[in-house]
Amino acid sequence: MTPAGQLAAAIDLLTEIEADPRPADAVANHFFRNRRFIGGGDRRAVSTLVWGVLRARRHLGWWLEKLRAPQTPRLLLAAQAIFSGQTPHKIALAFTSGRYGPPPLSPEESAVLERFAGHTLEHPEMPEAVKYEIPDWILPKLKAQFGSALEAEMAAMNEPAPLDLRVNMLKSTREAAIGALAREGLRAEPTAYSPWGLRLANRQSVTQGQAFQDGLVEIQDEGSQLIALAVDAHPGMRVVDYCAGAGGKTLAIAMTMENKGHIVACDVSVPRLEGAIKRLRRAGVHNAERHLLEPGDKWLKRQGQKFDRVLVDAPCSGTGTWRRNPDARTRLTEADLAELTQKQAMILDQAQKLVKPGGKLVYATCSVLNDENESQVEAFLARYPMFEQLPIEAPAALRGAALRLSPRVHGTDGFFAAVLVRRET
Ligand SMILES: C[S@@+](CC[C@H](N)C(=O)[O-])C[C@H]1O[C@@H](n2cnc3c(N)ncnc32)[C@H](O)[C@@H]1O
């Protein structure tokens, strides 16, 4: 594709994303599936253009509003290109060259772009929430959370995330996996905290390679690996991954159990649980069972207090994953957060029934918000005095009352985990 062709595809993709309530990556997957003629390199180039806009969406919107210009995908992409250092002349060329390019800029569009010349994306009059690329309503919550570090935290949250892998110790070692990846031209280095983590030097395709296909490595953010570590599961234990989704953490926990004992991956979503089947097989996990949770599920009662470990990796605001899903920032509403915190409490009420005396309930989110984290744990302990909080099982540098990870401090996604033990008597 020519740069003009890539720009035209980026305009089409951004148009779809802006009109669709689904997450941008789901819209993009669908977009590219319907356009198989767009090869891998072009797909990356188109995504880079669009994600550049999504990371700066509020800034760009503020500028266009200031100039009383419409917030069209064409102007958003062109404005982003100007603020990234391209000249209006070069941008105008991209809008005119070749039959696969977008229609030329109108005189009104050109006039808007001319007015950006000499400006930076930042402007001293921008409101704080625009500066941090977050919704207005969430600003006080994040201020309370991060205090004077808020600006740096939000800047780190707006950087693209690295690609992390977890070495599957059922099949490999870190050294052997690094070697296998190197033979595919992928340079990987051990992560700072997770004993099984590798970070790739640049974002390259891993899933087509032999190391991945053979189940030596799995894609998993280092923070997610640390949640699995906090579960502290051992060979022979009985474990539940209560909100298992497609089994990301189930796989890691099964690995710590060395395939001995039993792990049940639960979820309310059939397609998510089905997504785990292939992954469990590829990883060589033999001690996992899937269980679909249904309303009034009798299984919960039958299995009462039978498990050594229960992980609740709760559905949450995903505020810790904004690096990967920048569009999620503008989609999240206050009503969503209220609904999520209620759901989390309800899920904890159910899942705690499974924990045996002396067993641990591990509550985790990929949120950085107190409402979903510390406050949720405090409320749980008030409802269930037979549980008490234990220090987190983690590498020495991270030990504490709870695990709290952030992109700025740890280079991982934002995560929270707390360990709650059911007293023996
Ligand atoms: C954060 S995701 C889990 C991610 C997964 N643990 C992983 O590591 O890939 C939360 C999951 O909770 C599930 N969920 C939503 N409501 C639930 C409920 N009432 N009980 C159990 N799981 C629920 C969702 O379907 C979703 O898969």
Query: Which of helix, strand or coil describes residue 27?
Result: helix
Q: How far is the CA of 116 from the centre of ligand 1 (A)?
A: 44
The preferred substitution site among 166, 218, 267, 376 for testing ligand 1, maximizing ligand atoms within 8 Å of CB, is 267
Task: Please tell me the distance from the alpha carbon of residue 252 to that of residue 90, in angstroms, as a whole number.
Answer: 49
DSSP state for residue 148 in the 8-state scheme: G
Burial 149-188 (b: 16+ CB within 10 A, else e): ebeebbebbbeebbbbbbbbbbbbebeebbebbeeeebeb
189, 179 in Cβ contact below 8 A? no
Q: What is the interface pTM, i.e. ipTM, of the complex?
A: 0.99
Residue 230 CB: number of other CB atoms within 10 A?
23
Per the structure block, which two tokens stand in for 137? Answer: 């309503």
pLDDT of residue 20: 95
The preferred substitution site among 243, 273, 354 for testing ligand 1, maximizing ligand atoms within 8 Å of CB, is 243
241 annotated ligand-binding residue: no
Residue ranges with strand state E in 50-177: 164-167
Distance set, CA 148 to CA 63, 143, 311 (Å): 26, 8, 33
pLDDT of residue 15: 98
The closest of 217, 221, 128, 145 to 176, measured between CA atoms, is 217
- Total residues belonging to the chain: 425
The closest of 243, 242, 240, 266 to 254, measured between CA atoms, is 240
pLDDT digits (tens, 9 = 90+) for 257-270: 999 999 999 999 99
pLDDT of residue 223: 97
Q: Is the backbone of residue 293 left (phi > 0), alpha (psi -120 to 50) or beta?
A: beta
Amino acid at 370: N
Per the structure block, which two tokens stand in for 204? Answer: 């390259």
Per the structure block, which two tokens stand in for 191? Answer: 């992560």
Query: Which of helix, strand or coil describes residue 38?
Result: coil
Distance set, CA 14 to CA 9, 24, 229 (Å): 9, 9, 38
The closest of 151, 155, 161 to 25, measured between CA atoms, is 161
Q: How far is the CA of 178 from the centre of ligand 1 (A)?
A: 31
Which residues of the chain register pLDDT less than 50?
none
Task: Please tell me the distance from the alpha carbon of residue 141 to that of residue 146, in angstroms, as a whole number.
Answer: 9
pLDDT digits (tens, 9 = 90+) for 147-168: 999 999 999 999 999 999 999 9
- Contacts for 412 with CB less than 8 Å, ≥ 6 apart: 164, 193, 221, 222, 223, 226, 405, 406
Query: Which of helix, strand or coil describes residue 160?
Result: coil
Counting from 1 in the atom list of ligand 1, the atom nearest the Cα of 311 is 6
User: Domains along the chain?
Assistant: 3-126 (1.10.940), 164-219 (3.30.70.1170), 222-422 (3.40.50.150)
Return the half-sphere exposure (C-beta side, CA atoms, 13 A cut-off) of residue 379: 15
Amino acid at 372: E
Q: Enumerate the active-site residues.
A: 366
43, 37 in Cβ contact below 8 A? no
Could you tell me which residues are beta bridge partners of residue 355? Answer: 307
- Residue ranges in 95-149 assigned as alpha helix (H): 107-116, 128-131, 139-146
Task: Please tell me the distance from the alpha carbon of residue 220 to that of residue 366, in angstroms, as a whole number.
Answer: 13
Q: How far is the CA of 207 from the centre of ligand 1 (A)?
A: 24
Query: Which residues contact ligand 1 via a Cβ below 6 A?
Result: 224, 242-246, 248-249, 267-269, 272, 293, 313, 315, 347
Q: How far is the CA of 172 from the centre of ligand 1 (A)?
A: 28
